[in-house]
Amino acid sequence: MSNQDHRDATATIRGYIYQFDATILKILNADRNASVVIEGVEDFDVLNFDSSEYCQCKYYSSKKFTPKAIRDALLPMLKNHKQKKQTNQSQIKYQLYGYFKEAQPEKRSLTLQELKESLLKRVQTEDSSGNKEYNQHNLQTELGLTDEDLNSFLEVLSIHISEEYSLHKANVIHALKQHFSCSQDEAEHFIYPTALSKISQYAICRNVDERTVSRATFLSSLDKRQPLFTAWLLRERGEEEYCKLIRRKFFSERNIESYPRFFIIELPENIENHEITHILSEIRNKWSSHKIKHKPTKERYAPYIFLRDINPETLVSIKQNLQFDGIAFVDGYPFKGASFNTKDIQKEQTNENPISLRFINSKQDFDTLFQEIRQTKIVYEFFLSKPLSQETQVRHIRIPITSLNQIANIV
């Protein structure tokens, strides 16, 4: 990818995230009983009992605010207003929200002259001989809009020029901190990633009902114990910075507590056994105490591993390779034909029996074991497409990845 392509891609990603952040702010500031449609008539629509507001969001880091610069944003709203006016649906307001190069945050309006100027479009044409000429199109005339129509639209249009990308994101995090009365760390690394993920998930739903969420429902879904990261963060930061960020926040402990840690890993198709073994080696080297000789048994720890949807024959092959290499592990099946035994998989790690991995063979075994272990526990879930349903009442960190190598760079 060329430098220009990279800059274009970064600008596009920032545009999407800026829109998602603006949606979060709009939900936080909405009335208690309001609902918000993500990707509705406009980028996000706020629906109240007796009124609605349709919001178009733009992030123009290289374009200054001018009437012509906002033409493409205004046109869909202007057309919608004309349609609603013809059907006597007048309780709708419109907002253009966003950032423009060198613009200071403010709330402003347009004059009739500015709106008319924005509707003048210069179009290039070329004849059969290749000669180019420019013609001016008057979109007001083409759309059949009178000055009265334009004034009517201006009465229900507001323009909110907001902050640049980083400061805008900081304001979103601060708003979440204020709403949940939590620390900066909880708001930035737990609640905000989940809020961003929720909005991005709503945005891709096909049915408008699935893209509609009430303020109360959205806010109740944000749990600081259950951070859900999104692939948008990976796209925004780049793989190296993303892995460093996740590692620094969740995998940088030095004095490791002995409570149970569950690693759920969604495997890609056509994965090689040696790739899986490499990831398991990285996890056991950091998150198992089997190499520490002088450690009391009660303070020892070894990670639980659940490889989602892995072929049973592949799992057997991996276990055979580990056994051949002298790596001690348990899986809750003490003999051939046995039923799953939760006591066996929780067998203590000792110097004589240096268990370093605890394999969970199925989702059913995972659920059974998870319910039985009453002590503090934590779940790290690495997923390619979609995480499992969140485990309630525990810390469940859901981390999107695009390759298993990212897990090695994170843990």
Distance of CA 279 to the CA centre of its chain: 24
Is the pLDDT at 7 greater than 60? The verdict is no
User: What are the CA-CA distances from residue 286 to residues 113, 250, 253 (Å)?
Assistant: 66, 13, 10
Burial class of residue 134 in the structure, from the number of CB atoms within 10 Å of its CB (0-12 exposed, 13-18 middle, 19+ buried)? exposed
Mean pLDDT of 226-254: 83
| 85 Cβ contact partners less than 8 Å away, ≥ 6 residues apart | 149, 152
Q: How far apart are CA 102 and CA 388, in angstroms?
A: 44
In single-letter form, the type of residue at position 299 comes to E
User: What are the CA-CA distances from residue 165 to residues 60, 170, 234 (Å)?
Assistant: 10, 9, 17
Burial class of residue 359 in the structure, from the number of CB atoms within 10 Å of its CB (0-12 exposed, 13-18 middle, 19+ buried)? buried
pLDDT band at 1 (very low <50, low <70, confident <90, very high): very low
Q: What interhelical angle do 165-180 and 3-29 show, nearest 10? A: 30
For residue 8, what pLDDT is reported?
55
265-287: per-residue pLDDT in tens?
Answer: 999 888 899 999 999 999 999 99
Average pLDDT, the chain: 89
User: What percent of the chain is modeled with pLDDT above 70?
Assistant: 95
HEC assignment per residue over the chain: CCHHHHHHHHHHHHHHHHHHHHHHHHHHHCCCCCEEEECCCCCEEEECCCCEEEEEEEEECCCCCCCCCCHHHHHHHHHHHHHHHHCCCCCEEEEEEEEECCCCCEEECCCHHHHHHHCEEEEEEECCCCCEEEEEEEHHHHCCCCHHHHHHHHHCEEEEECCCHHHHHHHHHHHHHHHHCCCHHHHHHHHHHHHHHHHHHHHCCCCHHHHEEEHHHHHHCCCCCCCECCHHHHHHHCHHHHHHHHHHHHCCCCCCCCCCEEEEEECCCCCCHHHHHHHHHHHHHHHCCCCCCCCCHHHCCCCEEEEECCCHHHHHHHHHHHHHCCCCEECCCCCCCCCCCHHHHCCCCCCCCCCCEEEECCHHHHHHHHHHCCCCCEEEEEECCCCCCCCCCCEEEEEECCCHHHHHHHC
Is the pLDDT at 228 greater than 80? The verdict is no
Is the pLDDT at 3 greater than 70? The verdict is no
Q: Tell which wins on pLDDT, 303 or 257.
A: 303
12-32: per-residue pLDDT in tens?
Answer: 889 999 999 999 999 999 888
Q: How far apart are CA 96 and CA 66, in angstroms?
A: 13
**How many of the other CB atoms lie within 10 Å of CB of 157?**
19
27-78: per-residue pLDDT in tens?
Answer: 999 888 889 999 999 999 999 888 899 999 999 989 999 999 999 999 999 9
CA atoms within 13 A on the CB side of 319: 18
CA atoms within 13 A on the CB side of 12: 7
- The reported pTM is 0.74
Is the pLDDT at 167 greater than 70? The verdict is yes
Per the CB < 8 A criterion, the answer to whether 306 and 366 are in contact is yes
Q: How far apart are CA 409 and CA 283, in angstroms?
A: 11
| 360 beta partners | 306
User: What are the CA-CA distances from residue 295 to residues 289, 292, 351, 354 (Å)?
Assistant: 8, 6, 9, 12
Per the CB < 8 A criterion, the answer to whether 275 and 269 are in contact is no
333-375: per-residue pLDDT in tens?
Answer: 999 899 999 999 999 999 999 999 999 999 999 999 999 998 8
What are the boundaries of each domain within the chain? 3-124+135-220, 238-410
Q: How far apart are CA 396 and CA 366, in angstroms?
A: 14
User: What percent of the chain is modeled with pLDDT above 90?
Assistant: 65
